[in-house]
Structure 1
Amino acid sequence: MRILHVLSAEFFAGSVAYAVQLAEAHRAQGHQVWLLSDSDQLPTGATQLKAPIVNRRYGQRLRNARRIRQLVRQESIDVVHAHSRAASWVSYLGLRGLGVPLVSTVHGRQHLHTSTSLFDVYGDKVIAICENLRQHLITEVKMAPAKIVAIPNGLAFDAAHPASLNEELEASNNSSLSEPPRLAFVGRFNGGKGERAAALLMQVFPVLLREFPALRVALIGGELEQLPAAGKAALAQLQTEFGERMEVVGFTTDVAGWLSRTTLVIGAGRVAIEALGVGRAVLALGEASYEGLVTEATCAAAAASNFGDISAQQAGAEVDFAAVLADARAFLQAPAPVTEALQRRVRAHYDLATVATRVLETYQVARMQKAGIGYIPVLMYHKIPDAPLATKHQIYVTKENFERHLAYFKKRKLTPITFADYLQYARGERPLSAFPARPLILTFDDGYLDNYTNLLPLMQQYGYRGVLYLLGDFEVRYNQWDLAADPTEPRADIMDCEQKQAFVAAGWEIGAHTMSHPHLTTLTLPEAASEIQRSKAALETALQTEIVSFAYPFGDLNEAVKDAVRAAGFALGVSTDTGGMAIEDDRMQVFRVNMFPNESTSSLFKKTSPWYRKYYRWKRGK
């Protein structure tokens, strides 16, 4: 894709680091990236252009909007990503009428005034960096929940720390044992963070420095000159009393190095994430709240507030610094290293590559929604036998009837596409101008032998391709899951590897359907994740084709299973009779329509009509 980031960058804040890291991650994936900001000296290889985005005077806003409009047209930009309200304003103005989607990342609480709610300048999709921020946008800013997606800031842990996790933990723990204990406040020293730092300097650090004679306290971060006056006075007194034990570092490019030499970090947001990711204990103290020592038990709650930086509702930001002192004292008396489980959890959740993939998916969603691509009929077939089957499941359509379906689709000028085709349009690999006027996706589960003998020749006769969902275990040669549940069910054979490869050769998309066709929600999460991950790997190896979509056996899913499908690298997950109105409502739960033996012309008309999904949900009260 061709991506333009617009951001306020008068200083190197967390939002700037976020934009730069996204730009680098997407460039590494082969996308073309531009940055338009107050600085053209940011640490990125993306094309940088300078504009006073932070300047909110109306004349300058209009000039910034014109600049964006010209750039989008000149460079054929696919999506614009704004990183502040000022950036969203000018991007919104600049994109009007161009048909190019705008995505905004909201990094903090928005000012609650009339224009914030009345004028939604954030664009087509909004990324909230934590759950509290998502709740704030819904309840206080009155933003539509459907346009908001919660995606955290990402960090490239392995790039900065290439050692294996166990080696890194051992090395960092040995390092902390060999040096005197160090307590570090890491963050900006202006605004709310500066007020927190001043309170620490006055109420916490003096007590700890007196109680722990070997302790060093480091102040790390920019804008140190903007520390409140009371904080400056307290700092001067501490420097006089404790000398070199009071380390004033200020802005540094070696935060990682300081973290490796620190026993306990006080910070929020990206600071807390990076510290936990490299095995440093954290007291999560931010502009909004104090979340205490981050442990496996408290991590989820702390992460919801971005480790103390963001509250879900407008409220006072008072902090009990006696509690901060007590927690710091208790830790320094009996230091407890960050567990490997917590470190892995943080690294997995905030991994830059994972975050960048989710942001890219958000771009694609915005692109398709902006183009007005809504309901696409996704039909679900199974067996295509020569004659009717004596089965209670009724998940078959005879060869003769299926040919009638194909003739109907042809007559109605429906154009079968695959999910892989759909993703090519969403990713910008194909022009949206070429997207079919009346698309249709035909899917077939399990890989029955009659799909090879009956289905494939008929589809080729009509010039159609579909999506075939296969098990990863090629040793499964019949519908053993049906017979296990009911021995009276007829046996249905499954294709061999060579027959499955014929579908790949014919241009079909192959999707994964687990290894053994279990009810995924009845398994433990590790077992379910294994079924999902292994099926993708096995199919890609055996059939030498990319697997981008997954079908839930029996349509059996929950949020944890959906998360496992996403984590396994699938772009889409397809269900049975559940899901959103459109693919982009929830890519991990795409609604499919079950097809039965006796479909008539009227039922085919109904099941391929734009209103059918609403009708289905209304009829069943879903």
Structure 2
Amino acid sequence: MRILHVLSANFYAGSAAYAVQLAEAHLAQGHQVWMLSDSDQLPTRATQLKAAISNRKYRQRLQHIQLIRRLVQREGIDVVHAHSRAASWVAYFGLLGSKVPLVSSVHGRQHLHASTSLFDMYGDKVIAICNNLRTHLQQEVQMDPAKIVTIPNGIAFGQLEAVAARSATASEPPRLAFIGRFNGGKGERAAALLQQVFPALLAELPALRLALIGGEMEGLPAPGKAALAGLQASYGERVEVVGFTDDVAAWLARTTLVIGAGRVAIEALGLGRNVLALGEASYAGLVTEASLEDAAASNFGDISPRVGATEVDYAAVLADARAFLSQPRPVAAGVQQQVRARYDLSRVAAAVLEAYLSARMKKAVPDYIPVLMYHKIPDAPLASKHQIYVTRDNFAQHLAYFKKRGLTPITFADYLRFARGETPLSQFPGRPIILTFDDGYTDNYTNLLPLMQQYGYRGVLYLLGDFDLRYNKWDADTDPDEPRAEIMDAGQKQAFVAAGWEIGAHTLSHPRLSTLPLAEAAQEIRESKARLEAGLHTTVETFAYPYGDLNPAVKQAVRAAGFALGIATDTGGMHLEDDRMQVFRVNMFPNETPGSLFKKTSPWYRKYYRWKRKK
């Protein structure tokens, strides 16, 4: 991809570090990256262009809009990624009328301005860096939840570790470090710590050193400056005023306990340093295995989900710091492992790239793509209460109808090739449709496959990973009135692969996944993919939930198993890209009419269904 980052970088804040890390990760993967910001001296190999993005004067903004428009056209940019409200504003207007999507990362709570409600200025996808921020955007900013994706900051822990290893010494004294900006909300926290916490700790612990690390030191509130001067006069070199440094990892290596939030807290925990999570929004305390999830939700104290008081009990901060520094101990191994897994740069960069591709695809193909769900294609009607069949003759009429209306069947694998840029979007069909078939009944081989080949169509076949399961035991063995239906053998399934069909996974044994223990559900999901790929020698990228039964944990298990799409039944977003792990599809029944076929294959059907069924 050709990626343009737009950011306010009049000083090297966490958002700039985030953008630089993403740029480096994507450059390493072979993507081309440009950065447009206040500085052209950021530590990145990306092509840099200088523009005062943080300058909000309208004349300046108009120049930036024109610059972005020219840059996008000249360089063939595929996606623009904005990293501040000012950047989103100019990028939004710079991209108006183009097919290039805008993705915005939101790093903090947003002020509610008229432009927020008048224009969709954050673009096509919005990345919230923590769960509290997602809640704020959805409930207070009133943003469409379908466009929000939660992706945390990414950290290159390996690089940090290398720097820290070179800097650590065995003879370092105990050190407490406050790391963060010294202006704004964080400056107020620093001032309070200098007045209410640090004096007692320095007095009680004669060997303790205090390091103050961060930019904008001149912005420290006056009471904080006075308290700092007093501490320097009393404790001399034990008070280390470091100020801004691009060598934070080296200081973390020499620190016993860190007070900080956001990126600072993540880096410290990833390097095995204990953290008192104190940010602009709240105090989350010492980060432990028990508190990690709640601390992460607020980006370690920086972000509250809703407007509310931000008072901090500094007596509690003092008590926690005193207790820890009196008996220092290593970070719990579980905390360090979870942090390194959650915030790993390669994982985060992959998730961001998926957001880019999703935004690009939704911009290029804005309408709902009909996804139809079939099961059995028998010769004659079945005595089945489930009505999950369409007879061979009726299905032939469906295919003739699709042909007459100029619908082009594609597979999800085809769709993903377009989404990933492997197939030019110029070749995407004007009226696509996706035909899916669940369970792999024998009549799919005898009736379905020949009919589809007659029309030159391909579909998606969702199969069970247990090749020994040869009939619908989940129905026939539990309901004496439900007829037994045979499942294809391996050779018959292989015929679909040979015909160019996509094979998707449908678990091993067709259970209701939400009723299983999560570990068992995850095994059904993961193992079905592995067995199908091994048994049919094909790539399996999509998963269909049996019965359409799912919950957030099951969806996460599908993603974790390596699937690109999770295919639901009667639930999901308005567009495939609203939620790739819950794609809406339409049940097809024995007695479909030309009218129902018209309705179910129309781009407006998903909106109609949500209005009618509230799903």
Please list, as runs of the form range in 1=range in 2, the aligned pairs for 1:449-488 lying within 5 A after superposition.
449-486=442-479
1:340 corresponds, among 330, 333, 344, to: 333
Tell me how far apart the structure 2 counterparts of residues 30 and 130 of structure 1 sit (CA, whole Å).
Answer: 28
Tell me how far apart the structure 1 counterparts of residues 252 and 527 of structure 2 sit (CA, whole Å).
Answer: 37
Please list, as runs of the form range in 1=range in 2, the aligned pairs for 1:455-604 lying within 5 A after superposition.
455-486=448-479, 489-604=482-597
Give the match's secondary structure for 2:6.
Answer: strand
- In terms of mean alpha carbon deviation, does 221-230 or 194-203 score higher? 221-230
Tell me how far apart the structure 2 counterparts of residues 364 and 280 of structure 1 sit (CA, whole Å).
Answer: 36
1:421 corresponds, among 390, 395, 414, to: 414
Give the match's secondary structure for 1:485.
Answer: coil
CA contact (8 A) 2:115 2:121 kept: no
- Deviations 1:178-225 (CA, angstroms, capped at 9, x unpaired): 754322212222332223222222221121122223323222233335
Please list, as runs of the form range in 1=range in 2, the aligned pairs for 1:85-124 lying within 5 A after superposition.
85-124=85-124
Note if 1:185 corresponds to 2:178. Answer: yes
1:256 corresponds, among 233, 249, 270, to: 249
Who is 1:300 aligned against? 293
Give the match's secondary structure for 2:103.
Answer: strand
Q: CA deviation at 1:589?
A: 1.2
Give the match's secondary structure for 1:252.
Answer: coil
Q: CA deviation at 1:75?
A: 1.5
Give the match's secondary structure for 1:103.
Answer: strand
The 1:501–1:215 alpha-carbon spacing in structure 2 relative to 1, beyond 3 Å, is farther
Who is 1:276 aligned against? 269
- In terms of mean alpha carbon deviation, does 179-188 or 225-234 score higher? 225-234
Note if 1:216 corresponds to 2:216. Answer: no
Who is 2:48 aligned against? 48
CA contact (8 A) 1:124 1:147 kept: yes
- Deviations 1:305-340 (CA, angstroms, capped at 9, x unpaired): 221212334445432222211111122234454333
Tell me how far apart the structure 1 counterparts of residues 6 and 367 of structure 2 sit (CA, whole Å).
Answer: 28
Q: CA deviation at 1:595?
A: 1.8
The 1:494–1:120 alpha-carbon spacing in structure 2 relative to 1, beyond 3 Å, is closer
Who is 1:207 aligned against? 200
2:397 corresponds, among 392, 396, 404, to: 404
The 1:28–1:512 alpha-carbon spacing in structure 2 relative to 1, beyond 3 Å, is farther
TM-score by length of structure 2 reads 0.92
2:347 corresponds, among 354, 368, 372, to: 354
- In terms of mean alpha carbon deviation, does 417-426 or 11-20 score higher? 417-426
- In terms of mean alpha carbon deviation, does 568-577 or 367-376 score higher? 367-376
Tell me how far apart the structure 1 counterparts of residues 186 and 255 of structure 2 sit (CA, whole Å).
Answer: 20
Q: State the AA in 2 paired with 1:577.
A: D
Q: CA deviation at 1:120?
A: 4.2
Q: CA deviation at 1:619?
A: 4.3
CA contact (8 A) 1:394 1:597 kept: yes
Tell me how far apart the structure 2 counterparts of residues 36 and 336 of structure 1 sit (CA, whole Å).
Answer: 44
Who is 1:10 aligned against? 10
Who is 2:156 aligned against? 156
The 1:378–1:297 alpha-carbon spacing in structure 2 relative to 1, beyond 3 Å, is same
* Identical counterparts, % of pairs: 76
Who is 2:191 aligned against? 198
1:247 corresponds, among 215, 218, 240, to: 240
The 1:542–1:185 alpha-carbon spacing in structure 2 relative to 1, beyond 3 Å, is farther
Tell me how far apart the structure 1 counterparts of residues 454 and 448 of structure 2 sit (CA, whole Å).
Answer: 10
Q: State the AA in 1 paired with 2:302.
A: D
CA contact (8 A) 2:298 2:304 kept: yes
> Aligned-pair RMSD on alpha carbons?
2.8
CA contact (8 A) 2:147 2:578 kept: no
Gaps of 5+ in 2: none
Gaps of 5+ in 1: 163-167
Tell me how far apart the structure 2 counterparts of residues 283 and 450 of structure 1 sit (CA, whole Å).
Answer: 63
Tell me how far apart the structure 1 counterparts of residues 481 and 193 of structure 2 sit (CA, whole Å).
Answer: 73
CA contact (8 A) 2:378 2:391 kept: yes
Give the match's secondary structure for 1:282.
Answer: strand
Q: CA deviation at 1:575?
A: 0.9
Q: State the AA in 2 paired with 1:37.
A: S
- Deviations 1:525-567 (CA, angstroms, capped at 9, x unpaired): 2222222223233333443433221100111101111122222
The 1:245–1:224 alpha-carbon spacing in structure 2 relative to 1, beyond 3 Å, is same
Tell me how far apart the structure 1 counterparts of residues 155 and 53 of structure 2 sit (CA, whole Å).
Answer: 25
The 1:62–1:617 alpha-carbon spacing in structure 2 relative to 1, beyond 3 Å, is closer
Q: CA deviation at 1:270?
A: 0.8
Give the match's secondary structure for 2:572.
Answer: coil
TM-score by length of structure 1 reads 0.91
Who is 1:35 aligned against? 35
Tell me how far apart the structure 1 counterparts of residues 111 and 611 of structure 2 sit (CA, whole Å).
Answer: 39
Tell me how far apart the structure 2 counterparts of residues 177 and 597 of structure 1 sit (CA, whole Å).
Answer: 76
The 1:468–1:331 alpha-carbon spacing in structure 2 relative to 1, beyond 3 Å, is same
The 1:341–1:538 alpha-carbon spacing in structure 2 relative to 1, beyond 3 Å, is farther
CA contact (8 A) 1:374 1:583 kept: no
Q: CA deviation at 1:80?
A: 1.0
Tell me how far apart the structure 1 counterparts of residues 241 and 283 of structure 2 sit (CA, whole Å).
Answer: 23
Who is 1:380 aligned against? 373
Q: CA deviation at 1:354?
A: 3.0
CA contact (8 A) 1:176 1:263 kept: no
CA contact (8 A) 1:106 1:126 kept: yes
CA contact (8 A) 2:104 2:125 kept: yes
Who is 1:165 aligned against? none
- In terms of mean alpha carbon deviation, does 242-251 or 459-468 score higher? 242-251
Tell me how far apart the structure 2 counterparts of residues 484 and 279 of structure 1 sit (CA, whole Å).
Answer: 54
Tell me how far apart the structure 2 counterparts of residues 119 and 373 of structure 1 sit (CA, whole Å).
Answer: 18
CA contact (8 A) 2:262 2:300 kept: yes
Q: State the AA in 2 paired with 1:31.
A: H
Tell me how far apart the structure 2 counterparts of residues 321 and 9 of structure 1 sit (CA, whole Å).
Answer: 32
- Deviations 1:556-608 (CA, angstroms, capped at 9, x unpaired): 10111112222222221111122222212322111111222333333322322
Tell me how far apart the structure 1 counterparts of residues 157 and 373 of structure 2 sit (CA, whole Å).
Answer: 42
CA contact (8 A) 1:78 1:428 kept: no
The 1:434–1:199 alpha-carbon spacing in structure 2 relative to 1, beyond 3 Å, is same
- Deviations 1:88-119 (CA, angstroms, capped at 9, x unpaired): 12212211222322121121223344444444
Tell me how far apart the structure 2 counterparts of residues 489 and 592 of structure 1 sit (CA, whole Å).
Answer: 24
Tell me how far apart the structure 2 counterparts of residues 611 and 88 of structure 1 sit (CA, whole Å).
Answer: 30
Give the match's secondary structure for 1:588.
Answer: coil
Alignment size in residue pairs: 614
Q: CA deviation at 1:48?
A: 2.0
CA contact (8 A) 2:505 2:544 kept: yes
Who is 1:66 aligned against? 66
Q: CA deviation at 1:12?
A: 1.3
